[in-house]
């Protein structure tokens, strides 16, 4: 038995919402190892994960369930949008006047908006847009985004080719 695994720092301050962002609660080494296993293969059996991290199958299952419930991680299929029929993507840098966070929320409410991040630099926000074709992209950028109150100006970077896209955070 790998019972040397005592899970000392087990008591995590339960803050289901804090895991969203801000100074998130720290995951212990075991949960991190579980996440790494699932980043390699999201369908890996619990027993195999347990063997790799030194836990029983049931323990892994409960930890995974909690990580999912807390929103710390999600297990999903990811694809290259181009392969799935979305032929136009763009990164859009946004200059904001006023409440940046409010604008970010407004942009994030759009379906075509895949990714929203507040940044330091010459842009206040960067958003990734996924569209079906040129007309769709044009409409989203010129009519929808610029119509949001607080958006002063935008700069678009249309995707020509996706070269790398990994999901291996923490596995280094």
Does residue 6 interact with DNA by CB under 7 A? yes
**Which span (55-63, 103-111, 113-121, 136-144) binds DNA, by CB under 7 A?**
55-63
What's the closest the beta carbon of residue 169 comes to a second copy, in angstroms?
Answer: 5
The residues that bridge with 18 in the sheet, in sequence order, are none
User: For residue 28, how many other CB atoms are within 10 A of its CB?
Assistant: 15
- How many angstroms separate the CA atoms of 87 and 82, rounded? 5
Residues 160, 78, 140: CA angle, nearest 5 degrees = 50
- Of 52 and 91, the one with the shorter C-beta distance to a second copy is 91
Q: How many CA atoms lie within 13 A of 62 on its CB side?
A: 4
What's the closest the beta carbon of residue 121 comes to a second copy, in angstroms?
Answer: 4
What's the closest the beta carbon of residue 44 comes to DNA, in angstroms?
Answer: 7
- How many angstroms separate the CA atoms of 54 and 48, rounded? 10
Contact characters 58-97, DNA, x per CB under 7 A:
xx-xxx--x-------------------------------
């Amino acid at each position: 038995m790998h019972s040397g695994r005592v899970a000392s720092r087990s008591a995590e301050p339960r803050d289901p919402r804090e895991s969203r962002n801000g100074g998130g609660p720290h995951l212990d080494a075991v949960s991190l190892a579980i996440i790494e296993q699932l980043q390699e293969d999201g369908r890996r059996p619990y027993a195999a994960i347990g063997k790799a991290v030194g836990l029983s199958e049931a323990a892994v299952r409960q930890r995974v369930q909690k990580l999912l419930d807390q929103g710390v991680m999600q297990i999903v299929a990811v694809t290259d949008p181009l392969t799935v029929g979305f032929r136009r993507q763009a990164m859009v840098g946004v200059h904001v006047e006023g409440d940046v966070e409010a604008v970010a929320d407004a942009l994030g409410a759009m379906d075509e908006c895949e990714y929203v991040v507040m940044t330091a630099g010459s842009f206040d926000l960067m958003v990734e847009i996924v569209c079906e074709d040129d007309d769709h992209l044009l409409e989203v950028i010129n009519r929808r985004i610029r119509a949001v109150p607080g958006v002063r100006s935008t700069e678009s970077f249309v995707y020509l080719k996706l070269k790398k896209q990994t999901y291996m955070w923490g596995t280094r």
